[in-house]
Structure 1
Amino acid sequence: MMEKLNLPSYPLKIKNSEKHYLIFDEIRKKYIVLTPEEWVRQHYIHFLLKEKQYPISLIAVEKQFTINNLKKRSDILVFNSNGTPDIIVECKAPSVKITQDTFDQIARYNLKLNANYLIVTNGLEHYHCKLDSLNETYIFLEEIPGYKI
């Protein structure tokens, strides 16, 4: 099956279809093809729900937006209670090394979304940044804060 990640393990719903395995997405309420990236995304969604206590109603998956007339999608987007983007999570497969390009990608997304936190993960390594808009830079954090009402 899929490799063990550097995240808590969760009782994810997986089923076998004719061609491939499918994993249930609690946010989209449907089964999705189980790819290595989807494995990371589903674990991170559960991490946000269970460990960080974010309400399911504030989490969107593959939210579409436009940058320079190109359609883009965020892997996971967490909104605050006002409905504005708070956290963008970019998920990669465990075999994908996280590079400057990955950070550039999520930073480009954030020019449009203006979230407070950016997270890049391949399930094994996790990078958490907080936007410092005053100095136009990102501060790396050990972890993101849990949900606050």
Structure 2
Amino acid sequence: MPDSLTLPAFAHKLTDRPGAAPLIWDEVRRQHVVCTPEEWVRQHVIHFLTGHLGYPASLLSVERGTGALGQRTDLRAYDPATRLPALLVECKAPTIKLTKTVLQQAQRYWQRVPARFIVITNGIQHACWQVGPPATMWDRWPTWEEVVLVT
């Protein structure tokens, strides 16, 4: 996988498979998963959150259903006090632009799974909002402390 992402590199564990996409070890799901371009971004986000921003891996959830048929959020971080989602992250492949459509997808997920923050990323560009009222756009990723201290 090319590493043109703006997220920090990490010691990934890829397993090559002849004639098939490689597998990557997911620390949250504790299993190997197919390493698609979107998964490559998701794994970088997981390691960025846990390794740089203080998020506990035990409070992360990957590809969890929203309650709507077939809809799954890419990544959630849960508040340990309330056990409710505090952060939703929608990951896209690096070739996918972060458009209004991507934001609307994340907003639809948020309607079913409300969280304090929404982030959309393709691994190169990132956009973060603290859900309001009023909604506030951030120019960076929130740290774990910021996510759990927001009321």
Asked if TM exceeds 0.5, the reply is yes
Aligned amino acid, residue 130 of structure 2: K
Q: What's 2:49 paired with? A: 48
Alpha-carbon contact 2:49-2:55 (below 8 Å) kept: yes
Structure 2 residue runs of 5 or longer lacking an equivalent are none
Q: What's 1:58 paired with? A: 59
Deviation at 1:114, TM superposition (A): 1.0
Identity of aligned residues (%): 35
Q: What's 2:142 paired with? A: 145
Aligned amino acid, residue 144 of structure 1: W
Alpha-carbon contact 2:21-2:36 (below 8 Å) kept: no
Match status 1:23 vs 2:24: yes
Deviation at 1:22, TM superposition (A): 0.8
Q: How many residues align?
A: 144
Q: What's 2:12 paired with? A: 12
Deviation at 1:66, TM superposition (A): 1.7
- Give me the whole-angstrom Cα distance separating, in 2, the residues matched to 1:125 and 1:14: 24
- SS of residue in 2 equivalent to 1:46: helix
Deviation at 1:144, TM superposition (A): 3.0
Deviation at 1:118, TM superposition (A): 0.3
- Give me the whole-angstrom Cα distance separating, in 1, the residues matched to 2:66 and 2:103: 18
Deviation at 1:20, TM superposition (A): 2.1
Where does 1:1-149 land on structure 2 (aligned, <5 Å)? 1-18=1-18, 19-67=20-68, 70-81=69-80, 82-133=82-133, 135=134, 138-148=135-145
Aligned amino acid, residue 34 of structure 1: C
- Give me the whole-angstrom Cα distance separating, in 1, the residues matched to 2:116 and 2:141: 10
Alpha-carbon contact 1:7-1:43 (below 8 Å) kept: yes
Structure with greater strand share of residues: 1
